[in-house]
Amino acid sequence: MFCGANDYNNDEGYKLEIFGMTEDCLREAVSKLGLSAFRRRQIVRWLYKADVWDFAAMTDIAAKDAALLREKFTVLPARANILGRKLSKDGLAAKLLVGLPDGQAIEAVGLRHDYGYSVCVSSQAGCAMGCAFCASAAHGLIRNLTAAEMLAQAALLKKHFIGGANISNVVVMGSGEPLLNYEQLIMFLRLLHDPAVYNIGFRNMTVSTCGIIPGINRLAAEKIPVTLAVSLHAPEDGLRGELMPVNRKYKIAGVVEAAARYAEITGRRVTYEYLLIKDVNDGARTAEKLAKLLQSTLCAVNIIPVNPIKGKSWQKPGKKRTEKFVAALLANGVTATVRKEMGSDIQAACGQLRARYISSQARL
């Protein structure tokens, strides 16, 4: 049976990872231990509603059952070390650097909005895409994350930042390219949706991609109405290819076409992310080209003034220039907003804390 993160065999003496285990698997694993369905539901409630990850602390579970559970299962968020945490001065943004049991470090960000809490999770340790502006690219791809590892990021933020309240939105916009980790991504989204887990509507989830066309097509056929975000950053192949090497494989026309089809099939408006970089992609002609490209599709453009990153000379354009860029899009019939900056004092843009962690390790 496919158990998500748990592809090793308990009969050979390994412990199974219980966190993020699919319902069928959990049913089988718990009944194998001779425990009842009632126990199973208790465990699930502790794991996902109460954010308790130590069987001994599950107060309505008999000590002998807790001991049995501990012998058979591990609980990922309890095994993950919080290597770093930062809270923005205004308290609205938090960032965790999470150390996984194999020593990898990943980042997750939580944001408090007026409508609730959103969390931003990483889908890979590192990233292979090599975007010129992105801190996650600096160290290459290490490995895909499992669905449980993605869920654990949300769980740790829920416990340590949100105070156990409900997560309202999830964006897969941290380090990594989620559509190159497709199966685990979908399992993660389905877990989030599960009423026994976090009970989050698919419409409140966003998957952000650099434009992996086959992945976009596959997601469109998945019949889960998540929001697709496409990191575009330039309206022409020459410039986009310089910023994002993936553009050599998946050209702009094909990406926009796949995204438009996604919008048609799911009825969901696609978000285009557009980092605004001074004197690189922020000119009036570029805005016009961008507008032409997107004019006839169901979309909105999210303008993100670039966060300067170490070793690169990119800068944010000034406020006036940013507003002019947005106005040009609006004038041409394309919805556009500037992303509200949150947590810039904690370097909430993905990869930056991890990058510093890795280079500090390298110095040791």
Per rule CB under 6 A, is residue 146 in the interface with ligand SAH? Answer: no
User: Which stretch in 32-40, 147-155, 299-307, 354-362 sits in contact with ligand SAH by CB under 6 A?
Assistant: 299-307
93 near ligand SAH, judged by CB under 6 A: no
Binding of ligand SAH at residue 247 (CB under 6 A)? no
The question of whether 107 is a catalytic residue gets the answer yes
d(CA 107, CA 352): 9
Exposed/middle/buried for residue 313 (C-beta within 10 Å: 0-12, 13-18, 19+): exposed
Cβ atoms of residues 171 and 119 within 8 Å: yes
Residues 98/157, Cβ–Cβ less than 8 Å: no
The verdict on 107 binding ligand SAH (CB under 6 A) reads no
For 9-115, list the strands marked E by DSSP. Answer: 16-17, 73-74, 81-87, 93-99, 105-113
Candidates 212, 211, 157, 215; CA nearest to 185 is 215
CB atoms inside a 10 Å sphere around CB 201: 12
> Measured between alpha carbons, how far is residue 258 from residues 52, 79, 150, 266, 307 in Å?
42, 40, 26, 12, 28
Q: Which of residues 202-241 bind ligand SAH (CB under 6 A)?
A: 208-210, 231
Query: Is 301 a binder of ligand SAH (CB under 6 A)?
Result: no
Q: Which is nearer to ligand SAH, 9 or 313 (CB)?
A: 313
Catalytic residue among 17, 107, 149, 177: 107
Which letter, b or e, does each residue of 216-239 get, where b requires 16 or more Cβ atoms within 10 Å of its Cβ? Answer: beebbebeeebbbbbbbbbbeeeb
Least distance between ligand SAH and beta carbon 210 (Å): 3
Min. distance of Cβ 159 from ligand SAH in angstroms? 24
307 binds ligand SAH (CB under 6 A): yes
Least spacing, CB of residue 145 vs ligand SAH, in Å:
13
DSSP conformational letter for 19:
T
Selected from 35, 96, 309, 328, the binder of ligand SAH by CB under 6 A is 309
The stretch near ligand SAH (CB under 6 A) out of 80-88, 107-115, 187-195, 304-312 is 304-312
Footprint (CB under 6 A) of ligand SAH, residues 251-280: 273, 275
> Is position 341 annotated as part of the catalytic site?
no
Which of 3, 131, 299, 350 is the catalytic position?
350
User: Closest Cα to residue 245, out of 253, 237, 257?
Assistant: 237
Q: Does 350 bind ligand SAH (CB under 6 A)?
A: yes
Q: What is the DSSP letter of 129?
A: S
Q: Could you list the active site residues?
A: 107, 350
Interface residues with ligand SAH (CB under 6 A) are 129, 133-134, 173, 177, 208-210, 231, 273, 275, 304, 306-307, 309, 349-350
